[in-house]
Amino acid sequence: MIDSYWESVLIFLGINTVLALSLYLPISAGQLSLGHGGFMAIGAYVSVICTTWLGWPLVAGLAGGGLAAGLAGAVVGFPALRIKGIYLIILTMGFGEIVRIFFLNFEPTGQASGIGGIKHLTTLPLVTLVAALMLLCLMRFRDARIGRALRAVQEDEVAAEAMGVDLTRVKVGAFALGALGAGIGGGLYAHHALFIDPAQFGFFRSAEIFLIVVLGGLGSYWGPVVGAAVVTLLPELLRFVQEWRMTVFGTLLILCAVLRPAGLLSGRRRAAA
Amino acid sequence: MVSHGKFARFALAVLTLSALALGVAGPASAQAKIGVLMPLSGKGASYGAHQQVAIKMFQDKGGALNLVVYDTRGENTDAINLTRKLIGSDHVVAIVGPLFSGESEVTFPVAVQGKTPIITPTSAKPGIAAANRPWAFRNALTSDKLDGALVEKWLAANPGVKKVVILVDTKDAVSKSDGGIVLPAALKDRGVTVIDSISFQTGDIDYSAQVTKAKSLNPDGLVVAALYNEGANVVRELRKQGLTQPIVAGLGIMDPRFIELAGPAAEGVMTVNDFWTDNPDPAVARWVAEYKQRSPTPPSNAAALMYDTLDIVRACVEKSGVSGKPDDLEKDRERMRDCLSRVKDYKAPVTGSTTFNADGDALRQPVVLVVRKGKFESVR
Amino acid sequence: MLLQQLVNGLMLGSTYSLIAIGYALIFGVLGLVHLAHGEVFMMGALIGLQIVLWLHAGPAVALVGALLGTAALGVLIELTAFRPIRARNGPIFAPMVSTIGVGLILQEVATKAFGGEQVGFPHRLEPVTWRLGPVTISSVQLLILGTALVLMLALHLWVTRTRMGMAMRASAESTLTARLLGISTDRVILVTFAVASALAGAAGVLVGLSFNAISPFMGIDMGVKGLAIMLLGGLGNIYGAMVGGLLLGAIEVLSVAYLASSYRDAFVFGVMILILLFRPQGLFGVGQVR
């Protein structure tokens, strides 16, 4: 039906969508995170440990990876409460790097040599399902009390708190859930690429996911989906300008920022941090 | 199907010419497609550029192979997608590449699943071909086959060395295993103690701290396990801070640019490999001379190995009765696989007599080299 | 060994300072993070190298050439990638996305022009090494430290004594007030970019001369560190950036010397995180965290 090449491209697209949706959550609570690669790494490694060493099925592995990442997210989420804007970006960036360096030195998971021989368990239907579920959750979320609390926090924190929104719960919760999503994304990635090493989850990865989310815009939860599609498919479609691919991509980014600064799907405008 | 524009046209030209010339191999086998994966942009682009020159040289010498070339950008994601494309859409009978060990790690299982032989000309990380038998092969030598001879000759030339310090790149898997496992074992086997192992990372630009530390430990000899960039910088810093001990380096530094970057500091550094540009052997010298006419920079390992790998693949295409017909695709791939696993003492044009062992790894005669007056020389 | 390591750290740190100052300048005047600043640094190194190769010139000429070249580059970036966005008054990530694009383009242009792997300055520019007791210093290291100090001093004088410099400080305090006072903010911004980029370019040449490891990707690591230093020193505070750079250089070098190098970056970030948690305005920042 779909040929093997496009299947793989679409699986990566699905994984990027999952990652982007998971980052969308904390960012829409005003927490700019450039450390999502770190949570992805935790999810990837833990899920591989579950499936390869413990012999669990993939779903259990994903759950394991997600939970581990979510826990890390909660831990990082608390200090993140007191920090805003550019400082938070750097905090999360530092966290992401520390995770990567940890795995670079951690012997049981191979250090720089990484882990190979992972079973190919990720399938296109599975990835699509996970992405769709996340999207569904976000949609329901939006109208539930928690979602509205989130939007209130996004618009004006002080007012939200005055109205009784428990800032701590909302912000830490968003951070932890975002990390959980990234962990699941990491697990899906590991079982498709069949080999992971710390280099896969460095600053570039975090920046890429961040880029996807802001490219798509914060106005709607479809933003991350559009962003993921642009960032994943464009390099493939640009193969005919193989030699200058990055230049074209970079120029497109600049154009996007100039012409649609609030993202491709701009809805509401974010107040400056 | 998107082939790299230039190569599609070139391959077509070669195809037409060979069909017209009523070549030795039946015109049908010229239709069998061979996939090539290399980084033409992004990480490793300069290695890719070298390999492109080698490919062109190969085709100009009448190597009638129908090549489908894709750019992996040095990225694992692209490598995976493109391998699937080569197998599923382009219907190649074999794949040459990819360049990096990380890429090989992710593409080899895909090739195994797609039952297509894949042979990397350059990946030196231990164990990757072995884990993906029978379809994966590796034409590059790994440190475990080379370091014994290297350490032997180094200690023979420097008998006073009893304790050493190892400076190792822990971010590069090949250097890490070389400096962390293989070299120390070879040294210990010959009664040399490793006082300490000091680490740095690929891409570092400042090594003053590591070298100062090494200096304070007062070793008799220094061991460097790194790629050519970092290795050159380390060696320069060592000499700059006044250390005069003899230096032995793992195969990762093997590249003409090592000498260029390290300058006078490279003098006396000993290492090991199967290809070096100043090899006086007439066949190699001719090849290097011709390469230099086509490219401003001297050839690296990547170019030499690409050339030889293409040659081995061509030999297999011709000899194993690959038909190139779409119905025979599965059979053709098996024929290629079997032919490659039977390669024994094959006279590769640049790197010499090659054999593939049961792990799919190449076996060749290693040559221990030392830098003298700005050039690599073999050590007797 | 400690003394030598401190010297190493000082040398490394002075190049970090030059880059961090650039970040601080741009953040101070514009309130935004220029994520391609590391790439401007890289271009400085490459421009310097080209000048040396084409004109067979010495390091001084390379330095001046790189200063001018990157200043021009900085102006170009401001005009094409930032000014149009400012006009639209979008959210803060828009300029960040734009700078990522700029960074990608610069990396690719550099790769095409100079090859993807490292190149080095010709060896006739090899430094002379001197031994002062237990410490070894090379002429290039002194050059770096000296140049960095001179540039920082020059910047300080410029910012406090000249009209344009003071206009820059005014704009950093409050764009609105500055405009009310008749300062052409557009012109100030252009000058800011030029100066910041020139400093980065100078740092690039100095690093290239000293470590001989110029590649299109050398800017990434430096860029991240420069950001961290700006944070350490207090956002937008150029004196904080100066001291912060030296401090970070020392921390890095000492952590390599006494811990394992593979933890070096983790250590650096760990320190940064601690500072963020306990003194978020940085070592020299004053007042509230924005």
The pLDDT of residue A1 is: 56
Q: Which residues, 6+ apart, have CB-to-CB distance to B119 below 8 Å?
A: B94, B95, B96, B136, B137, B138, B139, B309, B312, B313, B340
Rounded to the nearest angstrom, the minimum Cα separation between A99 and chain B is 14
Encode pLDDT of C79-128 as tens digits: 888 888 777 666 666 777 788 888 888 888 887 777 666 666 666 556 67
Confirm whether C288 is domain-assigned.
no
Listed residue (A124, A168, A165) closest to A148, CA to CA: A165
CATH superfamily of B144-273: Response regulator (3.40.50.2300)
CB contact under 8 A, A250 and C104: yes
Interface contact C118, partner B, CB < 8 A: yes
Q: pLDDT tier at A248 (50, 70, 90 boundaries)?
A: confident
Q: How many other CB atoms are found less than 10 A from the CB of residue A267?
A: 13
What residues does each domain of chain A span? 4-201
Confirm whether C289 is domain-assigned.
no
Asked if the domains B4-141+283-363 and B144-273 are classified in one and the same CATH topology, the answer is yes
On chain B, the residues whose CB falls within 8 A of the CB of A193 are: 76-77, 80, 106
Encode pLDDT of B338-363 as tens digits: 999 888 888 888 888 888 988 888 88
Encode pLDDT of B16-60 as tens digits: 443 344 333 444 445 788 999 998 877 777 788 889 999 999 988
| Chain B residues interacting with chain C (CB cutoff of 8 angstroms) | 41-47, 49, 170-171, 198-201, 203, 205-206, 208-210, 212-213, 215-216, 229, 232-233, 236, 240-242, 257, 260-261, 263-264, 297
CATH number for the domain harbouring residue C100: 1.10.3470
Which residue has better confidence, B333 or C272? B333
CB contact under 8 A, A12 and B131: no
Nearest chain C residue to B43 by CA distance is: C116
Instruction: Specify which residues A238 forms β-bridges with.
Output: none
Encode pLDDT of C16-53 as tens digits: 888 888 888 888 777 777 888 889 999 998 888 888 87
What residues does each domain of chain B span? 4-141+283-363, 144-273
Listed residue (A218, A71, A223, A70) closest to A135, CA to CA: A223
Domain ranges, residue C94: 2-117+126-278
Is 60 exceeded by the pLDDT of residue A175? yes
Encode pLDDT of B188-210 as tens digits: 999 999 999 998 888 787 888 88
CB B1 within 8 A of CB B90: yes
Nearest chain C residue to B241 by CA distance is: C136
Instruction: Specify which residues B136 forms β-bridges with.
Output: B118
CB contact under 8 A, A203 and C224: yes
Phi then psi for residue A172, to 5 deg, are -65, -40
Listed residue (B373, B374, B372, B352) closest to B282, CA to CA: B352
Confirm whether C148 is domain-assigned.
yes
Q: Which candidate from A7, A112, A192 shows the least CB-CB separation from B170?
A: A112
ipTM reported for the complex, 2 dp: 0.84
CB contact under 8 A, B88 and A246: no
Which CATH fold topology does B4-141+283-363 show? Rossmann fold (3.40.50)
Could you give the number of structural domains in chain C? 1
Q: Which residues, 6+ apart, have CB-to-CB distance to B276 below 8 Å?
A: B254, B367, B369, B376, B378
Q: How many CB pairs under 8 A join A and B?
A: 83
